[in-house]
Structure 1
Amino acid sequence: MVDPSPAVLDDAVARTREALTRMGAPDRLAAPLVAVLGPDAAARLTADPWQLLELSSVTPRQADFCARTLLGAAARPDDPRRVRALVVRLVRRAAREGHTAVEYARVARALRSLGVTAPDAAGQAAAEDDRVRLIEDMPEEGDDSEFDGDLPEPPAPDRFLALASLGEAEQRLARELVRLTASEPIMDSATAAETVQAAAEKAGHDPAPELVAALVTVALRGVTVVVAGPAAQEARLATIRYAAAIAAESQTGMALLTPQASGAAALNRVLAEEGIRARTVAAALDDHALAECGLVVVDRATALDTETFAALAAACPGHAHLVLLADPAQLPSAGPGQVVADLIASRTVAVAALPDDARPTAQAALAAEVGAGRLPERVDAPGHEVVVVP
C-alpha cells in the first residue's frame, strides 16, 4: 500500500475540517481523524458521524451532539452506527486496561446507561463489525447420572466481547497450549532427578527437594509454570542451569528467552561462563530459533501479553516443553492479558513452586513481604540498603 502524498493528506484534512464544521465539531480534530480513518475521513464521517469516537478524546455525549447536528431527528440512540461505535470504544478501553475480553453483560449495562434500549444491541454490533468478536464459552457440564428422566437444559454459555485481534490471539493460544500439554516427557522422573543432582554436585551445590521436584515436572510435562518469588532468585537461576543440564542430557536443546533486552543482558552476565545464552522473545521468533528446541524456558514470563504468548506457543515445535519462570505478584504485561495468572488459575498446566533462598537480599526479602501483603516494621539490612520509614 502506497502512503498518500503530502498534497493528498492536506486535501483530506481540509475536506475533513469542512465535514466537522457541518456537524459542529472543532476543526482541530481533522488531522487526528485523517490519521485514524484515512484520506476518506470526510466521507466516512458524513456517512457515520459516530466515527468521531475513534478518537479517545471525544466523548459519547459530544459525538451524539455532532450526530444530531448533522442528521437531525434521524440520530437515534439505537442507531446501529452509534451502537457499533460504542461497543468498539468499550472493548478498546478494556484492552487498554489490560483485558483481552470483557463480559457481554458488562457491555450491555454500559450501553443501557448510554441510552441504548435494544435487548441484543451488543451482539448485533459484534455481528456487523469485524473489529469486534463475540466469544461464547460453554461451562463444564455436571454429572447427569442422578437424572432418571429427561436431562435438564444445558447451561447458557458465558459470553464475552473482544477486539478481533485479541480474541483470535486467545483462541490461537488456547489451541497451541493444548498441543503443547500433549508433548511426550523429555525423560523419566528418576533420570531427571539424577541429572539435576549430578549437575548440582558438579557445581558444589545441594539442591532443595522443591527445586528438584520442579525440574522433574519440567521434564515430564509439556507446559509448566515455575513460580519464583522475589526471594527465590538463586533458585530461579538454578532452575535455568539445571533445565539446561536436562536438555543437554536428553539431547533436545534448550532456548532461554526473556521479554526485554535488559533482562537478557542481566541473565547473560550471570550465565556467561556456563554456555547458556538468553535472547529476547521477539528476536527468537523473528529468526525461527525455536524450530529445533525441545525445552523453551521463558524468564520473567508475566511480562508477556496474550498476542506475544500466542506467537511464542505457535513457534514451539510439537515435541517441545514450555517452561514459564514467573512471579505472579510482579506487574502484569504492558499489553492486554495476564496469561501466567490465568494459567495458574485454570489448573490446566503443571505448576511448581521454588523455595526461597536461604539468604535472600534485603531488597528481595522486602519484596517478598510486600508481595504477600505485609509491610514489616524493619528489614535486616546491615548496610542500610533498605530502610522502612513509618
Structure 2
Amino acid sequence: MLDGPAIPASGEATASAEQARDGALFDARPAEPPRGAPDAGFAVSASFDVEPDESAVEAVREVLAAGGAPVRLAAQALGALGPEAADQLRDDPWNLLALSGISPQQADLFAQTGLGRAADPDDPRRTRALIVWHLTRAAGEGHTAADAAAVASVLGGFGVQDGLGAVRAAYENGRVMAFAERPEPVDEVEGFDEGADLDDDFEEEAPDLDDPFSGPSERVLVALERHALAEEGVAEAVVRLMSTAEASDGPAWPASPLGEALRAAGVVLYVTGAGEDPPAAPLALTRTVDARVAVAAATLDGRGRLAGVGVEGAVTVHGLIVGAEGPARSPDGLLDVDLLVVAEAHLLGPQTVEALLEAVPDAARVLLCGDPDELEPAGPGRVFADLRDSGLVPVVGSRERGAGVLGSLTVAVRAGSLPPVDSPDRQVVLVGARSAAEAVHRCVQLVGDSIPRALGIPADDVLVVTPAGGGSAGTSALNTALKERLNPGPGKYGGFDIGDRVVRIPQGRDTGLLEGRVVEAVPDGLAVAYRDLPGDPVTVPRARLGELRHGWAVTVRQALGLRRPGIVAMLPGDAGALVTRALVYTAFTRAQRHLSIVYPAGGNLPQAVARTADGTRTTRLGAALREAARESGLILH
C-alpha cells in the first residue's frame, strides 16, 4: 500500500498500489453499462457517432496512465467529463467517479497514485465526488432526489467523519441543490398580536428559511442540478398552462368527460385502459375538434403505431422538441398548436417533459396519455404519476376494455390477479418449464417454429421479454440460443454476424430502444438497418459496437414503448423479486396478437402478480407543483 492510512471504500480498501498501477484493480471490476442514462432526447445522426478528437484522447490517456488507470477509459472520460477531461482529472482525480462502472475504491487508488500520497478521507474533492456518484446511482434507480441524512450515512461508510457537513458543503459549493420539506405555512395564528414587538434575542436566533439546512423541516432532500431544475421547470410550465386556460376561449370542445376537462384546464391526464394502444378517446377527439392539433409519441415505435391507425402527421416527442418534426413555430419558438396530444407520456422523464411543455403557448391544451401501472420509466423521475397524484390537473380514465382472452388477462393482471387462461384461438398460450434450460429451449421453439407456423406471425415480429439481462434465462442466455437457431455464426464482426437482429439503447432512455438488423460490414464498422427508421442503414463505428446487443430478447423494461404482434414472456423462477405485478403487466401488454408465457411449472406467478413493487421513487415534482400552484393562487383538488 502507499504510505499513510488507507481510505475506506465500500467498507475498506484492500487493493494494492501495484494493482492500481497495472490496472488489475480496474480489470477485476469491469465497467458496467449505465443503469440510468440522462433523460435527454435522441436521434440517430452523424453527431451520435462522432469519434472524439484524438489529441484530447491522448491527453486523457496520459493522465489516466499517471494515476494507474487503464488508458482504454479515455474515450469514456471524454464522454462523461467533456473536452476538458484531462484537466479535470488532473486537478481533481476523484472526477474519475463520473465514469460509469468506476467504484469509489478505484477512484481512491487513482487519486492516491496521482497525488503520490495518501489522501484525506474528508478531502472536499473526494466528498463532493462521492455525493455526486451516490446521487447518480440513485438516479439509475429512478430517484431524482435523496434524503440528505441518508447521503450522509453513505459517506460515513466511506470513512467521511462529518457526512452531513460534507453534504452541506457540496450544496454551498454548488455541486448539488438542497430543499427543505418544511411544514405547510399557516395563514393565521390565533392570539398573535401583529403589533407586538419581537424579542431581540428571538430575532437574532430566528432561522434562515432560505437555508435548507436551517430551521424546522421534516427532511432535507438533495439533488443533482439537472434533475432539480427539470422538475421545477415542469411544475412552472404546468402552472402556466393551467393559469392561462380560459374555458371561453379556443376551440369548441366536445361534451364528453375528456372534452369537459380540456375546456377547463390547460393540462389533462388520460389514463389508458389495460393494454389500450393507441389511446382511443383522445384520438377520436382530435378527429372531431376544430383546432390546430399535434399528436406525438414517446418512441419511434409509437409513432409508427399511430400512423398505422391513420393519424396523419404523427411525430416523436424528440422530433417535436428539436424542431425536426411537427407544426411550425412562432417567432418566439412556440408551437403553432391549440392541442398537443402525447401518447405513452408515462415514459417521459422530467427534462423531456420540461422541454415539451415550454414549447406550448399560453392558453393551448396538453393532453398527456399514459398507463402508470406499467413499469416506471427507465430514466429518473415519475412525471406522469406525480402529476396524477398532485391534485392540480384533471385525470380522465379510459372506458376502453381489452378484447378477447388477451384483453381480459391484462385487465385482471392490472388488478392483481392471474385468472385461468382458456384460449381456443391460441391468443394466449401457457408453457410450463421444469428448469431454466428447458425454458430457454421452449422459447427458441416458440420463436423459431411454433408461432410462425401456427399463427403466421414471422419470427421477426416476435419479441422475447424477460426480467433481467443475466441469469440462466436472461437476455444473454436467450439471445445466444436464439442466434444459434435463427442466424448461426461465429460473431465475426465484434461478436456479430450479417443478419443478426440487434438493439441499440440510446442515451436518452425515454425515447425507447432501436431495433435493427446488421446488413453489412463496412470499413468503419457495421451498417444497421433500423426497424423504425426509413432510409439508408446507419453505420455503427467499430469503437461503438459495444453499444449494440443482440435483439431477439430484451428486458421488459427495455421493451417499454414497444409493441409486437407476438410476444414471448419469459418469467424464470430465479428472477425472484424482479417479477412483480407491474413487470408482468408490462410484459403482457407488449403483445398485439399473441402472447406466450413461459414460466416455471408449479411456480408462484399468481403470488408475483399480487405483489406490488417495494418503495416509491423519491422525486421533488410533487412538492414543486404545490409550491408553484400556491404562488400562482391555483387550487389543488
- Tell me the TM-score normalized by structure 1: 0.79
Distance in 2 (alpha carbons) for counterparts of 1:62 and 1:96: 20
**For the structure 1 residues 68 and 268, does the alpha-carbon distance in structure 2 shift closer, same or farther, using more than 3 Å as the test?**
closer
Equivalent residue in structure 1 for 2:165, among 94, 100, 120: 120
Equivalent residue letter for 1:128: N
SS of residue in 2 equivalent to 1:182: helix
Structure 1 residue 116 displacement after superposition: 1.5
Distance in 2 (alpha carbons) for counterparts of 1:83 and 1:364: 52
2:340 pairs with 1:264: no
- Across the aligned residues of Structure 1 and Structure 2, the Cα RMSD in angstroms comes to 3.2
Structure 1 residue 378 displacement after superposition: 2.1
Stretch moving more, 347-356 or 328-337: 328-337
2:66 pairs with 1:19: yes
Equivalent residue in structure 2 for 1:159, among 220, 223, 228: 220
Equivalent residue letter for 2:299: Q
Do the aligned residues in 2 keep the contact of 1:253 with 1:292 (CA within 8 Å)?
Answer: yes
Alignment-derived partner of residue 376 in structure 1: 419
Do the aligned residues in 2 keep the contact of 1:302 with 1:333 (CA within 8 Å)?
Answer: yes
Q: Deviations over 1:65-111 (max 9, x none)?
A: 34344546661111101011101101111222222222222212211
Equivalent residue letter for 2:232: Q
Do the aligned residues in 1 keep the contact of 2:295 with 2:315 (CA within 8 Å)?
Answer: yes
Structure 1 residue 336 displacement after superposition: 2.0
Structure 1 residue 313 displacement after superposition: 0.6
Distance in 2 (alpha carbons) for counterparts of 1:344 and 1:57: 35
Distance in 1 (alpha carbons) for counterparts of 2:82 and 2:138: 25
Do the aligned residues in 1 keep the contact of 2:66 with 2:114 (CA within 8 Å)?
Answer: no
Give the % identical residues. 35
Do the aligned residues in 2 keep the contact of 1:60 with 1:86 (CA within 8 Å)?
Answer: yes
Do the aligned residues in 2 keep the contact of 1:173 with 1:313 (CA within 8 Å)?
Answer: yes
Equivalent residue letter for 1:215: G
**For the structure 1 residues 296 and 9, does the alpha-carbon distance in structure 2 shift closer, same or farther, using more than 3 Å as the test?**
closer
2:314 pairs with 1:278: yes
Distance in 2 (alpha carbons) for counterparts of 1:319 and 1:42: 48
Alignment-derived partner of residue 179 in structure 1: 240
Distance in 2 (alpha carbons) for counterparts of 1:305 and 1:253: 26
Alignment-derived partner of residue 94 in structure 2: 50
Structure 1 residue 149 displacement after superposition: 7.3
Equivalent residue letter for 1:219: R
SS of residue in 2 equivalent to 1:255: strand
Q: Deviations over 1:20-60 (max 9, x none)?
A: 24xxx455545544554466655543432322212233211
Larger helix proportion, structure 1 or 2? Answer: 1
Equivalent residue letter for 2:62: R
- Equivalences for 1:223-372 in 2 at 5 Å? 223-230=267-274, 232=276, 236-246=279-289, 248=290, 252-271=291-310, 276-287=312-323, 289=327, 291-357=335-401, 360-372=403-415
Stretch moving more, 158-167 or 294-303: 158-167
Distance in 2 (alpha carbons) for counterparts of 1:43 and 1:298: 43
Stretch moving more, 39-48 or 87-96: 39-48
2:427 pairs with 1:385: yes
Q: Deviations over 1:97-143 (max 9, x none)?
A: 2222222222122112222222321121132244x322345442256
| Runs of at least 5 residues in structure 2 that lack an aligned partner in the other structure | 1-49, 199-205, 208-214, 328-333, 432-601, 603-637
Do the aligned residues in 2 keep the contact of 1:303 with 1:331 (CA within 8 Å)?
Answer: no
SS of residue in 2 equivalent to 1:135: strand
Do the aligned residues in 2 keep the contact of 1:173 with 1:310 (CA within 8 Å)?
Answer: yes
Larger strand proportion, structure 1 or 2? Answer: 2
- Equivalences for 1:183-202 in 2 at 5 Å? 183-186=244-247, 192=253, 195-196=254-255
SS of residue in 2 equivalent to 1:225: strand
Structure 1 residue 214 displacement after superposition: 2.8
**For the structure 1 residues 307 and 230, does the alpha-carbon distance in structure 2 shift closer, same or farther, using more than 3 Å as the test?**
same
**For the structure 1 residues 139 and 323, does the alpha-carbon distance in structure 2 shift closer, same or farther, using more than 3 Å as the test?**
farther
**For the structure 1 residues 281 and 93, does the alpha-carbon distance in structure 2 shift closer, same or farther, using more than 3 Å as the test?**
same
Distance in 2 (alpha carbons) for counterparts of 1:264 and 1:29: 37
Alignment-derived partner of residue 169 in structure 1: 230
SS of residue in 1 equivalent to 2:429: coil
Do the aligned residues in 1 keep the contact of 2:294 with 2:314 (CA within 8 Å)?
Answer: yes
Aligned length: 355
Equivalent residue letter for 2:167: A
Structure 1 residue 386 displacement after superposition: 0.9
**For the structure 1 residues 241 and 280, does the alpha-carbon distance in structure 2 shift closer, same or farther, using more than 3 Å as the test?**
same
SS of residue in 2 equivalent to 1:323: strand
SS of residue in 2 equivalent to 1:229: coil
Stretch moving more, 101-110 or 254-263: 101-110
Alignment-derived partner of residue 208 in structure 1: none
Structure 1 residue 356 displacement after superposition: 3.4
Do the aligned residues in 1 keep the contact of 2:92 with 2:125 (CA within 8 Å)?
Answer: yes
SS of residue in 2 equivalent to 1:387: strand
Distance in 2 (alpha carbons) for counterparts of 1:271 and 1:187: 31
Structure 1 residue 319 displacement after superposition: 0.9
- Tell me the TM-score normalized by structure 2: 0.50
Distance in 2 (alpha carbons) for counterparts of 1:364 and 1:351: 23
